[in-house]
Structure 1
Amino acid sequence: MKNDQAEAFFADLIQRPAIVLKIQEQVPDWELAEHQHIKSQFLITFSGLITIETDDGIWMVPPNTAIWIPPYVMHRGRSFGFSSGYVVFIDDHFSKQNQYLEMYQVPAFLKALLMRVSEIEHEYTSLEDDRLIHCLLDEIKNAPVQALNLPIPKDIRLKKITTILIEQPELHYSLAAWAKLICMSERNFTRLFKNETGLSVQQWRRQLHVLLALQWLSEGWSVHQIAEKLAYDSDSSFIVMFKKIMGISPKRYLEQHTNY
């Protein structure tokens, strides 16, 4: 990943509306240390799974989804298995003007346009190339939003609980038990958790389970293996939970996001 990192930081310095870099599929399970960029980034995964982590949360980017990373946001990156895709570095004048990380779906036309634009030289000069770049930026601005993030609380007591759940996602303690663990009343615990994450503890836990399931599905795990790993009573109970959050079953999700 060293060459890719060098190219990415070089893209910050090129004065063009957008620069498209390909994520090479040659190295599995790569990690990028905490860093930031001058330009906004629109990172798209075509295969595999990539996670982006900040102090505020964790975002998982499964196939055919994208994440918007504003300029100067400190973040870390990680790939599970062999991942492929693109990163678009966008000049501030042409960006979405979005100052928060956000997830997006990648329609088939946007995917095809990315593949075409990736062939353009970084320091292009032709009007045809410029028109294609601006067409790409328009498509990025109109990409449909998709929520796949896991907000991390700031309060050190709450962070203790989310860390435990990330490390042991199968745990299913009562609210009273979690509150007792961090020496808070159940009422104050649930109120503070909702204020800091926007989710109830159970909603946060289910969101974690979906994100982990997306990772494991991309690695070839079966629904039964995932349901068992997360301590669900049955495969069907896990599928019901997944459908409530994603709107479709795990099998249907995989079909839609891997068979373009």
Structure 2
Amino acid sequence: MPAERVNKLPLDEDTPRPVVVLDQSFASGARTRWHSHRRTELLHASGGLLVLNTENGTWTAPAGHALLVAADVPHELAAYGCVSMRAAFLSDEILDGTMSRDCRVIAVSDLLDIALKALAEGPLLYDPAGRGGHLAALVADEIGRAAEIEIALPVPQHKALRKLCRELIQTPSLAHDLDGWSEVVGVSRSTFTRRFRAETGLSFAEWRRRLRMLHALTLSADGVSLRLAAETAGYRSTNALRDMMRRTMSRTISKAAAPAPLQRA
């Protein structure tokens, strides 16, 4: 059965408040059309898995994390597993220049989760000088303090490398070695590795490990057993998948050094 296409989400980012939070629900397999927003958007799911695609890459938010999408970035969103979600729209003023011009995956603290819930349950036109205004400021502050996990899957701009990555995203278990992929692209091994790292910030091996982990996470969120998810994604065992997940979730980006934005196509 094809994934459900969501033509229009019940969004209201024009509400004249610095932070607007709305409750949403996605059925498993739901996917939005490509769209963008005039404000920075935060997407936090209480269950399931959210996967965000842009022209420049893929970001996945596992449990306890949220997607941050910069304003005016075209994207599509896919949901795996039954997802109850909150969408928050944040003004530039309240973010105070802390948001990069791309996307991020951040850890959601208990305080941020509670503040989002409280704003979603209150009136859209809350009193900026009252409880709603205080909650909005708390949301922005917690986002600014949140740890970011290095889970992005950037896509190269080089035509042949981009085509290869799209093919791998469709079939993560393809089994060529580095020499085989260099031959497919039509360059030497050294040129392949140098250009791939220059365009993605990752070695090809690290990029592929990350892709396989994300593929396994989506399968698992859809109800596939961890063993079968690991096997389908190209892992030799569930322990290998668990180790990769543990290493990825433990790597956070320092707040002192913001990541450089990916190049646009």
Shorter chain as denominator, the TM-score bin is 0.7 to 0.9
1:75-90 correspondence to structure 2 within 5 Å: 75-90=75-90
Which AA in structure 1 matches 2:117? M
* Structure 2 runs not aligned, ≥5 long: 252-265
Report what 2:111 is aligned to.
109
The answer to whether the aligner puts 1:23 opposite 2:24 as a matched pair is: yes
Q: Which secondary structure does the structure 2 equivalent of 1:53 belong to?
A: strand
TM-score w.r.t. structure 1 length?
Answer: 0.86
- State the Cα distance separating 1:22 from its structure 2 match: 0.8
- State the Cα distance separating 1:209 from its structure 2 match: 1.2
Alpha-carbon spacing, 1:124–1:201, altered in 2? closer, same or farther (3 Å): same
- State the Cα distance separating 1:66 from its structure 2 match: 0.7
- State the Cα distance separating 1:226 from its structure 2 match: 2.1
Report what 2:182 is aligned to.
179
- State the Cα distance separating 1:3 from its structure 2 match: 9.0
Q: Which secondary structure does the structure 1 equivalent of 2:191 belong to?
A: helix
Alpha-carbon spacing, 1:19–1:241, altered in 2? closer, same or farther (3 Å): closer
- State the Cα distance separating 1:234 from its structure 2 match: 3.1
The answer to whether the aligner puts 1:202 opposite 2:205 as a matched pair is: yes
Structure-1 separation of matches of 2:190 and 2:211:
23
Report what 1:165 is aligned to.
168
For the 8 Å contact 2:126–2:132, the answer to whether it is kept is yes
* Structure 1 runs not aligned, ≥5 long: 249-260
Q: CA RMSD in A?
A: 2.1
Which AA in structure 1 matches 2:202? L
Which AA in structure 2 matches 1:116? A
Report what 1:66 is aligned to.
66
Structure-2 separation of matches of 1:186 and 1:54:
28
Q: Which secondary structure does the structure 2 equivalent of 1:169 belong to?
A: coil
For the 8 Å contact 2:109–2:142, the answer to whether it is kept is no
Q: Which secondary structure does the structure 1 equivalent of 2:153 belong to?
A: strand
Structure-2 separation of matches of 1:39 and 1:225:
39
Alpha-carbon spacing, 1:217–1:50, altered in 2? closer, same or farther (3 Å): same
**Residue number among 90, 98, 105 corresponding to 2:100 in the alignment:** 98
Structure-1 separation of matches of 2:236 and 2:134:
54
TM-score w.r.t. structure 2 length?
Answer: 0.85
For each residue in 1:148-201, what CA deviation from the matched residue of structure 2 results, as whole angstroms up to 9, or x when unmatched? Answer: 210011111001211221122112211111111121111111110010111111
Which AA in structure 2 matches 1:159? R
The answer to whether the aligner puts 1:14 opposite 2:11 as a matched pair is: no
Alignment length (residue pairs): 244
For each residue in 1:109-151, what CA deviation from the matched residue of structure 2 results, as whole angstroms up to 9, or x when unmatched? Answer: 2112211111121122362222222222222221221222100
Report what 1:149 is aligned to.
152
For each residue in 1:84-114, what CA deviation from the matched residue of structure 2 results, as whole angstroms up to 9, or x when unmatched? Answer: 1211101111123322211100112211221
Report what 2:123 is aligned to.
121
For the 8 Å contact 1:62–1:215, the answer to whether it is kept is no
Structure-2 separation of matches of 1:2 and 1:241:
33
Report what 2:255 is aligned to.
none
For the 8 Å contact 2:172–2:212, the answer to whether it is kept is yes
1:176-255 correspondence to structure 2 within 5 Å: 176-247=179-250
Higher helix residue share: 1
Structure-2 separation of matches of 1:129 and 1:217:
37
Which AA in structure 2 matches 1:65? H
For the 8 Å contact 1:19–1:89, the answer to whether it is kept is yes
Q: Which secondary structure does the structure 2 equivalent of 1:35 belong to?
A: coil
Q: Which secondary structure does the structure 1 equivalent of 2:230 belong to?
A: helix
Q: Which secondary structure does the structure 2 equivalent of 1:24 belong to?
A: strand
Structure-1 separation of matches of 2:28 and 2:238:
30
For the 8 Å contact 1:46–1:65, the answer to whether it is kept is no
Alpha-carbon spacing, 1:167–1:244, altered in 2? closer, same or farther (3 Å): same
